[in-house]
């Protein structure tokens, strides 16, 4: 199995952003899965209100954890510099 980091893309326009408004939503996951597709499905199954089918841009149904247009999914490798892997804080 592999570890995958999934996070919301930060370059989304507000009019096409399933994380707007920001409350009651998951903004990132670290998932163990064999493939990116499986990792995305696990994130979609464990997401918050962002995973409810919504109207993207007014005309497209989307589940953002399943789509590279809305979220990133990268394999976490043991190699690399020391540092924080993920911090996802949303203070009100």
Share of the chain above pLDDT 90, in %: 50
Residue 6, pLDDT score: 95
Which ranges of the chain have pLDDT less than 70?
Answer: 53-61, 90-92
Residue 53, pLDDT score: 63
Burial of 41 from C-beta contacts in 10 A (0-12 / 13-18 / 19+): middle
Residue 11, pLDDT score: 93
Residue 23, pLDDT score: 85
Q: pTM (2 decimals)?
A: 0.82
β-partners of residue 7 are: 28, 72
Residue 86, pLDDT score: 76
Residue spans of the domains in the chain: they are: 2-76
Cβ-defined contacts of 40-49 (< 8 Å, 24+): 40/6, 40/65, 40/66, 40/71, 40/73, 41/66, 43/6, 43/71, 43/73, 48/24, 49/23, 49/24, 49/25
């Amino acid at each position: 199995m592999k570890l995958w980091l999934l996070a919301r893309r930060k370059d989304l326009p507000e009019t096409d952003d399933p994380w707007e408004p920001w409350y009651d939503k998951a903004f990132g996951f670290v998932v163990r899965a064999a493939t990116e597709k499986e990792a995305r499905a696990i994130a979609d199954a464990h997401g918050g209100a962002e995973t409810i089918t919504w109207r993207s841009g007014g005309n497209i149904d989307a589940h953002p954890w399943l789509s590279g247009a809305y979220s990133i999914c990268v394999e976490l490798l043991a190699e690399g510099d020391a540092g924080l892997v993920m911090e996802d804080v949303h203070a009100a």
